Structure 1
Amino acid sequence: MKKSIFKIFALTAFITFSSCGEKAKEAETKDAQDAAMANETAMTYNVDTEKSTINWKGFKPTGTHDGTIAIKDGKLDVNDGTIESGNFTIDMNSIVVKDIPEDDENNAKLTGHLTSADFFDVEAHPTATFEVTGIENVDGNAMLSGNLTIKEETNNISIPVNTEINEDTMTLTSETFTIDRSKWNVKYGSKSFFDDLGDKFINDNIELTISLVANKA
Structure 2
Amino acid sequence: MKKRLAILALALVTVVTVNAQSKTIKTGESTVTWKGYKVTGSHEGTVDLKSGTLKFDDSKLTGGEFVIDMTTIGATDLEGDMKGKLDGHLKSDDFFGVSNYPTAKLVITKVKSTGKNSYKVTGNLTIKKTTKPVTFDMSVYGSKATATVKIDRSEYDVRYGSGSFFDNLGDKTIYDEFDLVVDLQF
Q: What TM-score does the superposition give when structure 1 sets the normalisation length?
A: 0.74
Could you tell me how far 1:139 is from its partner in structure 2? 7.1
| Greater strand fraction, Structure 1 or Structure 2 | 2
Find the residue that maps to 2:154 and give its secondary structure.
helix
Aligned to 2:126: 149
Match of 1:195 in 2: 167
How has the CA–CA distance of structure 1 residues 50 and 139 changed in structure 2, closer, same or farther, with 3 Å as cutoff? closer
Which residue does the alignment assign to 2:88?
Answer: 112
CA–CA separation in structure 1 for the residues paired with 2:131 and 2:54: 20
- Code of the residue aligned with 2:60 in structure 1: it is T
- Using the alignment, how far apart are the partners of 1:157 and 1:61 within structure 2? 25
Residue 57 of structure 2 is matched in structure 1 by 79
TM-fit CA distance, 1:177: 3.6
Letter paired with 1:142: Y
The aligned counterpart of 2:176 is: 204
Q: SS at the partner of 2:47? A: strand
> 132, 143, 146: which one pairs with 1:173?
146
Secondary structure of residue in 2 paired with 1:203:
strand
Q: Aligned partners of 2:27, 2:121: CA distance in 1, in Å?
A: 20
Pair 1:45 & 2:17 matched: no
Cα RMSD (Å) of the superposition? 1.5
2:44 paired residue number: 66
Match of 1:94 among 45, 49, 72: 72
Letter in 2 for 1:173: T
Segments of structure 1 that go 5 or more residues without pairing to the other structure are: 1-38
1:49 is aligned with what amino acid?
T
Structure 2 unaligned segments of length 5 or more: list them: 1-15
Go from structure 1 to structure 2 and tell me whether the alpha carbon gap of 1:79 and 1:139 turns closer, same or farther (over 3 Å shift).
Answer: closer
Distance 1:79 1:142 in 2: 14
Equivalent pair of 2:69/2:102 in contact (CA under 8 Å):
yes
The CA distance in 1 between the partners of 2:172 and 2:62, in whole Å, is 43
Offset, 1:121? 0.3
Pair 122,178 (structure 1): closer, same or farther in 2 beyond 3 Å = same
After TM superposition, which residue ranges in structure 1, 4 or more long, deviate above 3 angstroms?
A: 138-141
Contact 2:40/2:171 (<8 A) preserved: no
Name which of 92, 99, 104 aligns with 1:123. 99
**Of the two structures, which has the highest relative contact order with CA contacts closer than 8 Å and spacing of 6 or more?**
1
Between the aligned partners of 2:98 and 2:165, the Cα distance in structure 1 is 21
